[in-house]
Structure 1
Amino acid sequence: MLSTGALRAHLLAARLAGPVATSREESLRSYRLFAARDPRVLIGIDPEWTWGQRDLIGLMADKCGVSGDPRQTQGHDVIDPERTLVALDAFAERIGAVAQRGGTVLLGTGHPHRLLEFYAALADALSAAGCTVLTPAHGRCVDITTRFGLRTYNLDYVRGVAFVREPGVPSSGRATGAHTHSPLPVRTVLAAAVDEGGGLPELVIGDHGWVCGAGQLGFEAIGLADTDDPALFVGEAEGVVSVVVPLDDAVRSDYYRPLTRYVLNRACLSQ
């Protein structure tokens, strides 16, 4: 069993928390764009409240532990590992609850190169516990606007985790997917779940638009987010998203394995 102290040390050593790679400049840019309601940063959230840049800095200081001083405009952001640990416990509690009742779940990621293994381990454990892991819309096309223009992607699943691939990239069972913040994939998947009659998820687990898009549609959603992704934390503050774990979402994939063990243990799903 991984102790809280050991996980805290790992968070800092792997730079999942503490000083992280995300720069203050990147985060402040995201806050400015969110305040202007730029859809690229809203990623599926339709805020009920008015959020100015100072409001967002205050929120992120509270949720993540970044500096609450708007005059600090340079350097690396800092995530408080204690906030990460508290959120991981809440994250595990929601997973444990859905596992206990053998519920239906959907998992999806916009960071397949980094986070697919983390979510896949959760999907494996939930399936073993009797949960239904949904995989609707496999192979369906999704048109997403990127900074390079409109791009068409294909929905794919590896070990029960949804993500999108570039067209023409073969499904090889590996995480060769595209990085995206868009909520369109989860909207497509949920619409297909209705059409296919396979049931709707009681819990959506993921990041970026997978969490925001599902939460905005009224599904319970939990996920991971970096300091430059204010939408998930706004969703949590407004009651649209259930739990958000603050951490760097783009470190090496193997650095998330201790988090997997910790979450599964706290959710009573250790194998």
Structure 2
Amino acid sequence: MILVTGATGQIGSKITEGLIQSKADVRVFVRDENHLGDLKNENIQVAEGTFEDMESLEKALEGVDRLMLIGQDNPDQVQQHLNVIQAAKRQGVKHIVKLSAFGADKNSPVALMRDHAEIEDAIKDSGMEWTFIRPHLYMQNLLRFGDSVAENNTFLAPMAHDAYSLVDIRDVAEVAATILTTENHNSKIYTLTSPHAENYDEIAETLSSLLGKTITYQAQSPKDFERDLLESGTPEWRAYDLAYISKAYKGSDKHLITSDIEDLLGRPARSVKDFLSDHLSTFKN
């Protein structure tokens, strides 16, 4: 039995879909099963609860061999996941697959990366088998610029002119489902990237080609980007991490490219052009 936490999220839902397609025995852990939408069917078991409710966690983990640990980013994420790890160990879970992040480091200037590192250490110390999935920045973050591109033919981001090997969430989910349903992944860390690193000027050029009009990228300072996020109502902890996320990558790490996706899936990772082509309507009026 495989348990997926965070199954209503954009990655957790896609992992669950992949597991259903592979005919795996799947249980999902959610706050409210009514939020499952199309995932709710006879092919999965549903356990309701929260990361704070140990009783609901232990009930959800009964009979589970493999755990896919995902949670929504929030200031309480470390304690929430420590609760899951403790409950999993008590219930005899054999293997935890954690969705982490490339850049996870206990000394990172970005809180999200420090949190991931602390959770990874706790899993290693638990005595259970483990696998860490560390995706680079998600291509889906580009969708935030849809309205700006559609209305003003430009977008702003605090990424300077450095190249990043962004990764598509769809590839991340497929990798996770593969790891959960195959063997020989114990004590392995998979770093997921696209086949090519691109800066945001190049992404603007790709959008220009696909849309048939000139799109420009404006590099914004992290401080100004954070200010704009705060003014739009983004929580302080989230605004800082989004504005200063580039600081989580040292030197050439920004444009690191790995073959992990192709090695696991037998096909190349999706490119930024693939992603933008599939979501082009987001950038149109």
The answer, yes or no, to whether TM exceeds 0.5 is no
The two structures have a TM-score, normalised by structure 1, of 0.34
Give the structure with the larger helix fraction. Answer: 2
The two structures have a TM-score, normalised by structure 2, of 0.33
Give the structure with the larger strand fraction. Answer: 1
Higher RCO structure (Cα 8 Å, ≥6 apart): 1
